[in-house]
Structure 1
Amino acid sequence: MLLKKLNKLNRSSFTIPKSITGFMLGIFLSMGISGDGRAIADNNSNELKNDLQTGLIDQLGNDQTCADTGGILAYAETKDYGLYICADINDPRQPKHYRSVNKNGSPGVRLTARTYNPNQGNYFEFYNGDYVYMLQLPSAQIKQPLLVVEFPDGDGYEQKITRLLLSQELLQHLALQSNRLRVKTFNVF
């Protein structure tokens, strides 16, 4: 019965009131998805909160980095970069563009996703030729998310994400995805 109700849910008409979005952000960031798709609470979430500042993209004010897209879905910051995940202009819930802003003033990277797998869950991955850019999201398995860049020769580098801001749309999408995964693994006797 619960599964039928979830299947009938029209995502485009379902919105999370702003007053509880911050609460949900905290809950989502302190939970992870286990290997079998069940949501599991992270008992060490204090460690995550000490290393990572989290919030909503509203903190960015009138940032225009994703102006020609469907808007900012996520923003992450490392010691050298500001990183933006921008939405598809035709579906503001779907990640489509990766934009980096270099803190040293040099030109950043602008990439468009060829495909996106919404089930990957705890990271965004973009390709630039043979280079791979991966932006991790916190989960039970990933206590301290990273920006990971892989070079064509297999070498690469990582930088710790120190600040992560999510849009209400992405938070809503991740919460719904998490609920669907839990319902799929729920056994009814």
Structure 2
Amino acid sequence: MNNEFAEAVRDGRHYLIATDGACKGNPGTGGWGAIIQLKDGTEVVRQKPIAGQGEVMISTNNQMELTAVIRALEAVAEPLPIVIISDSRYVIDGAKNLPKWKAKGWRTTNGAVANKELWMVLDQLLETNSVRWVWQRGHNGHYLNGLADELSSNAALGLYPHGTKSLKARHPKWFR
């Protein structure tokens, strides 16, 4: 993290976002989830969970991991620094490789970039947002990662048929 970004996060308003994706079968029925916190220094000003099912009937876990990040970035309301916590090496490493893939016509050394359409959407969102990535080992007791995991798993099971309304009914304390 560069010093300017670190100071903005420590001293000012920023977003802290934890994301996760899940599939019941891989490929299978997919779901994604994210916890978005607007913070002022270390204080949480606002917290909002978001979740949904895959847009196609059969998805992969990697597609859902990417969709969670995309939907979270789309839900950000203010142009502030963003820290994204993910337990997906696929997302973290891929985000770092985006400039290289783009320069090579969306190709890797092994051929076409998998999930190219989703990576292209993420690339566009990253052009207008200042994002730092943090990898967090999954299922390791990290509170926000655990919430994102629960959201994505429940979404894959179809437990949020009415979006935010369903989320508020099931998890009212997660909204601040």
Tell me, yes or no, whether TM beats 0.5. Answer: no
TM-score, normalisation: structure 1: 0.29
Structure with greater helix percent: 2
- Going by fraction, where is strand more abundant, 1 or 2? 1
Instruction: Using structure 2 for the length normalisation, give the TM-score.
Output: 0.30
* Structure ranking higher on relative contact order (CA contacts 8 Å, 6+ apart): 2
Larger radius of gyration: 1
